[in-house]
Every structure is written in C-alpha cells, then in structure tokens.
Structure 1
Amino acid sequence: MPAPDPVPAARPGKRAATPLRVVVTDPIISRFAGRLTRGLDGHEWTFAAAAAAAERLAAIAAAEVVVCSHLSEQEAAVAASARLVHVTGAGLGRVAISALPAAAAGANTFHHARPIAEHVLMSVLALNRRLLASDRQLRSGSWRTIANDSSVPLHRTLDTMTLGVVGLGSIGAEVARLGAGLGMETLAVRSRPEAPLPDGVRPGWVGGTADLPRLLAGSDAVVVTVPLSAATEGLIGPAELALMKPGAFLVNVARGPVVDQAALYAALSGGSLAGAAIDVWWGAPAPGRTPPADFPFAELENVILTPHYSGHARSTFERRADDIAGNIARLAEGRPLLNVVRSGSQQ
C-alpha cells in the first residue's frame, strides 16, 4: 500500500457495519491512500495501480468496491462481486459502466471546478500581458517596453474586459464567479438558458446555443467548458472564430474536439485571434505528437500550452478521496450513496 499522506484529523462517523473488499486501481488517488482509508480500516484494501494485468484482474474479480479512473470491458465483466464502482473523477468515458453486473452501482466525484477556473483567469491574464513572450525576450537580453518601443501594446485590466463563458456547468459557473469577482463583465450561453442560475452567478445575459455568435462577438476572452458530444464537436469552428473581436483570446478547458483545430491554428497564425490557451487536446500524446495536435501549435508565440493539468490541485484529490471514502462508508452501513451515476439492483 502506498505511504499514507498526512491528514489533519480522523474522519467523523461510526465504524463500518459490514467490512468490504476494496480495490483501488487509479494511481493518482492511490497517492492519497491515507486520506482514503482514514477511519475505514475495518475494510480489506488492495492498491493495484502498479500490479500486473492478471493480478489486477484477479483483484477486481474479488472486489466489492472498485475505485478507478479506467475500467475496461474485460475488467467490468469479471467484477461479479462488485457492489460499487467509484470513478475517481467526473468523466465516465473510460469506464465501462454498462458492462458491470446488475448489482453494481456507479458513482463519481468532482471538485475540479475551482482550480480549472483559476487556470482560466491565469491564462487570460498571461495572454493579455504577453507574459510568456515578455519573459522569453528578457531572458534573451531584449528589454522591450512602451518606453523604448512604440510597437509594444499596452495591456488591459480585467475590469475593462468582457468574459464569455460557453457552458455553465460547475466549471463554467466557477469561471463566471471568479471573473465577476475580478471586475469582468460576464456573458454565458448554455443548452438550457431558462434553467435557474448557479449560486453566485449573475452574467450580464445568458443565452442558448443559438446565441453563441452574440457571445463571441461581444467577448474579449472566451472560455469553452462544455462536455464533448455529437452536438458540441466542432462547436467553435472557422465561422465562430471569425466572429470574435480582433485582440480576443480563447481558452479551451473542455475537450480538444469541441474546437476545430485547423480553424484555431489558422486564426492564431493569421492574426485574427490574439491568443489562446489550450489545456485539452486532439487525442493522446505520442512520440512526435506531443502536444497531441495535427498542427504545430508549439511554434506559435501567442499560445499557452498545458498538458490537461488545469484541475490538478491537491485540494481536488483530497476532496475526491473524501467523497469516495464517504460513499464506501455509506455502502457498508446501508445508507444511500451520493453522486450516483448508475443505480445497482442492491441500492
């Protein structure tokens, strides 16, 4: 078992009523083993992230609880004893939930909205102030400011900028809150514009998907936060990018294919878009394709490139570990589970 991470205090609550066999296959959440198991030492824990495939398969076959970020159809099919499969994040795309036995419930967890929102605002500030370009120039011995070079642009303060949020789920809502807190005017579009607004979110206006052109034309920075689906693939394409203001920025923290990569590269290299921050990509990294894109974004100076890490704050995984442990305790005590994405026949 991995070395426990330091934790402040024991988790409150009664001891588990029924001991469970728990298998953890996710290497990231395994780093928080101390927090995950705190107060739940009556269970049988197996940390199998580094195990050989056959050993991991055998552990899953015997488990009553599987904690994972990936679960293949083969692994799901052998999980005959599973009562709960707990995904260690929000997304279910790499977990074969439908292949699980009927008795197995499925649950997920979140807590990534705040760090991603901070990444978005950091990116807007860095793009607006040409932070990376200025750093590179100064390191190379070039001192360029408005005092000695009239071509250097003046940067803007956030309270003079409009932030357009595409998608108003947990991430989009947190982006809107932080942007407004820093004085930005905020606009938003989402699939159900008539739904109640999230707490603390008060955009200047909220429209539906058909209002996307209005948002793009009216925003100085646009952040894309919608989930990838047949309806959102290519949502931001050549026509949409052409609608954006000269000098505007695009930040994508959704999924790569929500933005047409050929159109984005053309807009960035051709100068119609002032800059972009890309944290999500078009496929997986590979030798010769890192970052994973079909166009040389790494050669552009007006782009911030990050390896899909915007949500990777310590607090994200600490709170996810707490959610998972809480659901394991609920299962053992016969209480209703939280964040259920699939109801098992025993629940």
Structure 2
Amino acid sequence: MTEVQVGRTDLFVPRIGLGTAALGNFQQAISDSDAITVVDCALDSRIRYLDTAPLYGHGLAEQRVGRAVAKVDRDRLVISTKVGRLLRADAPRDETQYHDGVPFYLDVPPVGPVWDYSYDGIRRSVEESLERTGLDRFDVLLMHDPDDHLSEAATTGYAALRDLRSAGLVRAIGAGMNHSAPLAALVRACDLDVVLLAGRYTLLDQSSLADLMPACEEREVSVVIGGVFNSGILVDPLPGASFDYVPARDEVVAKAVAIRDLCRKYDVPLAAAALQFPLAHPRVSTVLIGARTVNELDADLTLLDVEIPRALWTDLWNAGLID
C-alpha cells in the first residue's frame, strides 16, 4: 500500500483502491450490510482509497460508503466521487444503462440519472453526493462518462471543478470514462490532475497507449485504472465470458485464452497477471479492485502477492499479446 502523488497536487494515494459499482448492485443485488462489510474489510486490509459515484446503484453505493466510513477517521481516507449525472425521480429511461432490456443496476431507489454538465449542475451534484454520503468533503471529483457531452464537460463542467479546487474544497479533479480518446481530449483541453480509465489499459486491451497515456505523460496527469479483469474474461476466459459487461466476441475470448496459456507456463494465475499488469505503467497511480464480496476482496489481495517472472511479460510481448 505504498503511496504515489496525484498529478502535481499535494494528494497522495495508495496503489490499490476499492471501486464501488458492485456495491451499488451492479448486475447483482446485495444487501446494505454485505456491502458495508466489504468496505469494512477493505479498510482493515489498509485499502484507504474508495471510489464511488451517484450512478452506482442510483445513490446506493454512495450511501453505503458513507455508512461504512462514518466510524473511520476521515483524514485517513481518500474518497472520490463523480459528477455530471443528477439523480431525479422523473428521469427518462437511459438506454445506455440496459442490456437486452435488463438494467445494469438492480433493486435501486426510484430515481434515475439525468445528464447535467452545467456549472450549477456540477455544484449541485457535489452537494447531493455529500448529503448521500454524510461526508464533509471529497478528495477527488471526476466528470463521469462525458463521451457525448465533451463540449460542456470541457467548459462549464471543468470550470465548476476548477473553482472548487481553487477554493480548496477538493484536492484533485479529473474525469472517468470507459473510452480513452475522449479522455485524452479532455486532458489536452483542461488542467486535470487525474483520470479514471476503465477497461482500456488491461492485460487484454492497451488501446489507450495510442492516445490517453501519451497525453497524460505530457501533462503529468495521473491515471487510475478500473476494470482490470475486463468484466471477468481475465479471470476465466470461457466461451460466453463477459467483456465490457456483455458476452465477448470469439476473437476476444481466443486472445484471452492465449494469454492464460502463457501464464500457465509460469504457474501464474491469469487474474494475478491482469491485476498487476497496469501498475507497471509510470502514469498509473492506482488500480481499483471491484470486489462484491469479502471472499472476492480476499482473493484479489492474494493475487497481488503472486510473484510474476519478467520472462512472462517478455513472452506475452513477443507473442504479440501485449502492446
């Protein structure tokens, strides 16, 4: 749990953090008590960086994180949340949050996300997140999935975050997305400290090396990595395994199987290689573990102790399996 600096700020974060989408009933409903127990165990394991968002469980994840950390010294923690979506009872149905008619978040409160990257909307989002969590501040604020709202995110959205940072109300600002090209555009357009990239710098997909990673190198922006298992295919690449939260194409499964087979040559679990791989990049500050249960959390932490021979990375590169 060594710490690294976030961008050029005075904020330092541990290399491993806890992502909380799963604790907001992502693809599977869990109880409040089970979710809070996962956070408790993460804190007991010296994970003190928690990332959440209003979208996660339509407020559930923020509420559960707030209840879990209420008994912990706030100064020991680094907590990030996201802005750009307000939760409203009259929200129209957002088709991006469904697959085959099934919502990604199950058994959630009767509110839905409404896009709002206006200056006042960003400030309102922060206030509502503080109310849901019961916290007095966040350390990091990230614009959430502004793929189709880049103009607003780069102007009014960024201005609101910049002013919050200037006033000392937040220590680092940035954006979090599943696609690297629009993130790279925001890094070049705005003075960001950190970005959260999900799924595009993994053992299976390093497409962000073409755009985001060079931009972050140039601007000294830190990168937090989520989705290191690419929705599960880098745990067990069976036919029908998930990639980006939907069934993977045959060629994606085949590549994951080839990576797994090389890992087996060195007696390294595929999941261990997947979890450790992003940490080698000089711009990556933190990898988020997205555990849903205490057993998953324990298993992930055990993977960090696996010794991985340098020869494995060389073999993967020579085979054209990593960029």
TM over 0.5: no
Normalized per residue, which structure has more strand? 2
**Shorter-chain TM-score: which interval?**
0.3 to 0.5
Normalized per residue, which structure has more helix? 2
Pick the structure with greater CA Rg.
1
After TM superposition, the score normalised by the length of structure 1 is 0.31
After TM superposition, the score normalised by the length of structure 2 is 0.33
